[in-house]
Amino acid sequence: MKYIDEYRDPQLARNILDEIRRKTTRHWTIMEICGGQTHSIIRNGIDQLLPDTIELVHGPGCPVCVTPLESIERALLIAARKEVIFTSFGDMLRVPGSSKDLFMVRSEGGDVRILFSPLDALQIARDNPSKEVVFFAVGFETTAPANAMAVWQAAREGIENFSVLVSQVMVPPAMRAILSSPENRVQGFLAAGHVCAVMGYEEYEPVAREFHVPIVPTGFEPVDLLAGILKTVEMLEEGRSEVVNRYGRVVSREGNRVAQEIIGKVFEVTDRQWRGIGLIPGSGLALRAAFADFDAEKKFQVTHICAAESPLCMSGSVLQGVLKPDGCPAFARECTPEHPLGATMVSSEGACAAYYNYNRNFVL
Amino acid sequence: MTIAPLCPAPIMQHETVQMAHGAGGRLSQALMQRLFMPHLHNPFLDLLDDQAKLDLPPGRVAFTTDSYVVSPVFFPGGNIGELAVNGTVNDLAVGGARPIYLSAGFVIEEGFSLAELETIVKSMAEAARKAGVMIVAGDTKVVGKGQCDRIFINTSGIGVISEGLKLSCCNLQPGDSIILSGTVGDHGMAIMTSREGLSFQSRITSDCGALNGMTAAMLEAVPTIHAMRDPTRGGVAATLNELAVSSGVGIAINETAIPVKEDVRGACELLGIDPLHVANEGKLVVAVAPADASKVLEVMRSSEHGRDAVIIGTVVVDHPGMVVMNTAFGSRRIIDLPLGEQLPRIC
């Protein structure tokens, strides 16, 4: 398959691995930001192939994992309403709130639908004028442009029965939070390729300078990941803290200006709760006042809903790279994909789920 | 005086299934005689008794049942009718049985197109003919609009197992070769990419087919085959896990050996789904002693359903109850059961 097979070439991967071994003189801790990268690393066993001195820790870049519990609770309340068609990316349906998930709401009669694009939700709203159609707008900068576009089009066409439940988050503030933590061990980052495709990597340059860390925008295939790790190791060994792109076929320094524009038109920066981590200032996006009519929280008056996490779940430490999933006492015991305590065990991009599915350590 | 014409209650006066078609009256009879019987008739059904009285050849009797609720009802490469026949035929065949008789129960939603119903029944007849089985008992119920999703079909099947065959998913032995009959994920991806709400098109067609011809030939050549399964829901991953757990052994498979069609691979990539977790409807997983593997492969490859048959792994003593894959990069990972519904990823 073109543009995939080249980046899964075992011989090429072995060559880069040899180069990483040759360049590495000491222990380095590198964080891959994106859950998609974590998934690919564990699935392909890249962590098993790296020299012991290179430690990969897994970042907070799983949109499902970091969506705060109160957003889930609000979604459950809205989705259960008779007049609502609640639409969402598939991953969100299995995320447990404090007592149920969206699948259970669906089984109790709620009209909950899995979509691939928020623009499809807008179409459902056009086709069902007597219903209220709500889209669960979660995700990082990757999902923000399409979510913004849906709201923008709804406003332009005057589609009043459409709204979005927003829980958008952004990567750079989370990186700053991790690097500022006294527990931080991260010395270099693989930046999330698809986030950088939208935002470019210019905004990472101040982070690299300020915290003296190399940052490498990296793709998702094994060869992409190994190339990103190699570049990070090279910079660490040379004492450089720059941003160097290793996902050139997708990412440019300035990113996708059109996408950035629509995000800026519809959303504004806000403080945001991250599930398991807590409040990160300036880390979220909220609808601008001009689009308040499309804010599902206001429309259905669920802003006041609060919720508390399971005290057993340590996903916050996992999401910040402080703890590996199998270092959690509940991992594969109280917490499994069938009975997840936290969202990191739910999403296909969650680090705990990746460890559970592909490498439960007790056999491999 | 005018004489009222005899009302033949022709079903084609209606274009869709009515509640009365399932009420046991004239319309029910008309549906039976004009739509079902012309396609399905055989000496057992023709008697119109409440039961079929069957003679069975010697051997142990295998009996199975399965309900089919696929959506969409018509999909690239087949429809719910042939799926219902082939699925039950395959469930018998993988136990080493020769499938002989099937029953078919229909639950139809009021308003379902009669023309589509006839297409479904026709393809059931064709599938039964191809598989060499007879549909000897049947039932039709009509439910109100919204009480089922268009049409559901249940089929049960009876087959006979020849003397000496002892296939079971508990029979895997360390050292056994694991053979897969062809490409994985064709059926599930044909269904998923033809569902509404997915804005890309594919040429993927279902692999829906009856495997009993191939399994009979395999068992004739190598009667000591340890186990066979058809990897339907949950895909090859679920089947291998079930075999490993039932036999208390480990299974090691090689990533590079698993055949996946280019289109299926592309669709799986796009949706973030592992082809090993996707359903098949005309594939076979076989465990056989290593000495017999090449003979079984040869027989499979001469069948239309086993042309791409290949050894994908071996049974091992290590990690009992678990399936582990050797990746193309030389690392290893667990192949687990899929969890519930296949959910497309978010980004």
CATH of the domain at A44: 3.40.50.11750
Cβ pair B347:A63 closer than 8 A = yes
- The answer to whether the beta carbons of residues B114 and B17 sit under 8 Å apart is yes
A294 vs A161: CA distance, rounded Å: 8
Identify whether residues B30 and B150 lie together within a single domain. yes
User: Would the pLDDT of B194 be above 90?
Assistant: no
User: Would the pLDDT of A301 be above 90?
Assistant: yes
User: Would the pLDDT of B29 be above 70?
Assistant: yes
ipTM over 0.90: no
Q: Determine, yes or no, domain membership for A221.
A: yes
Identify whether residues A281 and A321 lie together within a single domain. no
Of the candidates A280, A274, A276, which has an alpha carbon nearest to the alpha carbon of residue A345? Answer: A276
Mean pLDDT of A231-253: 97
- The answer to whether the beta carbons of residues A301 and A329 sit under 8 Å apart is no
B86: exposed, middle or buried (Cβ count in 10 Å: 0-12, 13-18, 19+) = buried
- The answer to whether the beta carbons of residues B161 and B126 sit under 8 Å apart is no
List the single residue in A64, A116, A222 with the smallest CB-CB distance to B329.
A222
Task: Dump pLDDT digits (tens) for B220-245.
Answer: 999 999 999 999 999 999 999 999 99
Identify whether residues B259 and B307 lie together within a single domain. yes
Residue B49 lies in domain? 13-161
Binding-face residues of B in 327-346 toward A, CB within 8 A? 327-334, 336, 339-341, 343-346
Residue A64 contacts B, CB cutoff 8 Å: yes
pLDDT at B341: 63
Identify whether residues A143 and A268 lie together within a single domain. yes
Q: Determine, yes or no, domain membership for A225.
A: yes
Which amino acid belongs to residue A57? Answer: V
What domain count does chain A have?
3
User: Would the pLDDT of B1 be above 70?
Assistant: no
B28: exposed, middle or buried (Cβ count in 10 Å: 0-12, 13-18, 19+) = middle
Identify whether residues B331 and B182 lie together within a single domain. yes
Domain endpoint, select from B161, B194, B229: B161
- The answer to whether the beta carbons of residues A194 and A36 sit under 8 Å apart is yes
Task: Dump pLDDT digits (tens) for B315-324.
Answer: 999 999 999 9
What domain count does chain B have?
2
B52 vs B197: CA distance, rounded Å: 44
Identify whether residues B182 and B293 lie together within a single domain. yes
Cβ pair B272:A348 closer than 8 A = yes
CATH of the domain at A71: 3.40.50.11740
Comparing B1 with A250, the larger pLDDT belongs to: A250
Identify whether residues B37 and B155 lie together within a single domain. yes
Q: Determine, yes or no, domain membership for A176.
A: no
pLDDT at B174: 98
CATH of the domain at B274: 3.90.650.10
pLDDT at A215: 98
**Of the candidate ranges A105-114, A167-176, B22-31, B178-187, the one whose mean pLDDT is the lowest:** B22-31
For A252-290, give the DSSP string: -SS--HHHHHHHHHHEEEEEEEETTTEEEEEEEEEE-GG
Per-residue confidence at B218, pLDDT binned at 50, 70, 90?
very high
Domain endpoint, select from B136, B161, B186: B161
List the single residue in B319, B329, B341 with the smallest CB-CB distance to A13.
B329
What share of chain B has pLDDT > 90, as a percent?
Answer: 82
Identify whether residues A265 and A161 lie together within a single domain. yes
Identify whether residues B261 and B294 lie together within a single domain. yes
Identify whether residues B64 and B115 lie together within a single domain. yes
Provide the whole-model pTM: 0.88
Cβ pair A89:B199 closer than 8 A = no
List the single residue in B with minimal CA-CA distance to A349.
Answer: B345
List the single residue in A1, A14, A115 with the smallest CB-CB distance to B197.
A115
Identify whether residues A326 and A351 lie together within a single domain. yes
Identify whether residues A287 and A233 lie together within a single domain. no
The pair of structure tokens assigned to A229 is 């790790």
User: Would the pLDDT of B346 be above 60?
Assistant: no
Identify whether residues B194 and B327 lie together within a single domain. yes
Instruction: Tell me the HSE value of B71 on the side-chain side, using a 13 A CA sphere.
Output: 9
Identify whether residues B212 and B246 lie together within a single domain. yes
A259 vs A285: CA distance, rounded Å: 14
Q: Determine, yes or no, domain membership for B227.
A: yes
A344 vs A40: CA distance, rounded Å: 15
Domain endpoint, select from B127, B161, B195: B161
Identify whether residues A185 and A282 lie together within a single domain. no
Q: Determine, yes or no, domain membership for B59.
A: yes
pLDDT at B10: 53
- Neighboring chain A residues of B340 at a CB cutoff of 8 Å: 94
Which of B317, B337, B347 should we substitute to test contact with A (largest number of A Cβ atoms within 10 Å)?
B347
User: Would the pLDDT of B132 be above 70?
Assistant: yes
Strand order in the sheet with B310-316: B227-229, B285-288, B177-180, B310-316, B250-254, B323-326, B332-335
pLDDT at A339: 83
Bridge partners, A216 (sequence order): A190
**Of the candidate ranges B108-112, B233-237, B342-346, the one whose mean pLDDT is the lowest:** B342-346
List the single residue in A49, A89, A116 with the smallest CB-CB distance to B199.
A116
Identify whether residues A233 and A140 lie together within a single domain. no
**Of the candidate ranges A21-25, A200-204, B269-273, the one whose mean pLDDT is the lowest:** B269-273
Identify whether residues A158 and A52 lie together within a single domain. no
Identify whether residues A227 and A264 lie together within a single domain. no
List the single residue in A48, A64, A91 with the smallest CB-CB distance to B331.
A48
Q: Determine, yes or no, domain membership for A246.
A: no
Q: Determine, yes or no, domain membership for B74.
A: yes
Q: How many Å lie between the alpha carbon of B260 and the closest alpha carbon of chain A? A: 11
Task: Dump pLDDT digits (tens) for B77-101.
Answer: 999 999 999 999 999 999 999 999 9
Comparing A130 with A98, the larger pLDDT belongs to: A130
- Neighboring chain B residues of A5 at a CB cutoff of 8 Å: none
User: Would the pLDDT of B3 be above 80?
Assistant: no
Residue A326 lies in domain? 315-355
Residue A181 contacts B, CB cutoff 8 Å: no
Identify whether residues B114 and B258 lie together within a single domain. no
Per-residue confidence at A362, pLDDT binned at 50, 70, 90?
low
Mean residue pLDDT across chain B: 92
Identify whether residues A76 and A151 lie together within a single domain. yes
List the single residue in B199, B330, B343 with the smallest CB-CB distance to A90.
B343
Mean pLDDT of B260-265: 94
Q: How many Å lie between the alpha carbon of B199 and the closest alpha carbon of chain A? A: 9
Is it true that the peptide bond before A68 is cis, omega within 30 degrees of 0? no
Per-residue confidence at A58, pLDDT binned at 50, 70, 90?
very high
Which of A16, A48, A221 should we substitute to test contact with B (largest number of B Cβ atoms within 10 Å)?
A48
Report how many Cβ contacts below 8 Å link chain A to chain B.
Answer: 99
CATH of the domain at B98: 3.30.1330.10
User: Would the pLDDT of A117 be above 80?
Assistant: yes
Task: Dump pLDDT digits (tens) for B286-304.
Answer: 999 999 999 999 999 999 9
Identify whether residues A132 and A259 lie together within a single domain. yes
DSSP class of residue A295 equals B
Q: Determine, yes or no, domain membership for B344.
A: no
Mean pLDDT of A248-271: 97
pLDDT at A278: 87
Per-residue confidence at A309, pLDDT binned at 50, 70, 90?
confident
Per-residue confidence at B6, pLDDT binned at 50, 70, 90?
low
Identify whether residues A76 and A153 lie together within a single domain. yes
User: Would the pLDDT of B308 be above 60?
Assistant: yes
User: Would the pLDDT of A343 be above 60?
Assistant: yes
Identify whether residues B151 and B192 lie together within a single domain. no
Cβ pair B197:A116 closer than 8 A = yes
- Neighboring chain B residues of A1 at a CB cutoff of 8 Å: 262, 265-266, 269
Cβ pair A93:B343 closer than 8 A = yes
DSSP class of residue A17 equals H
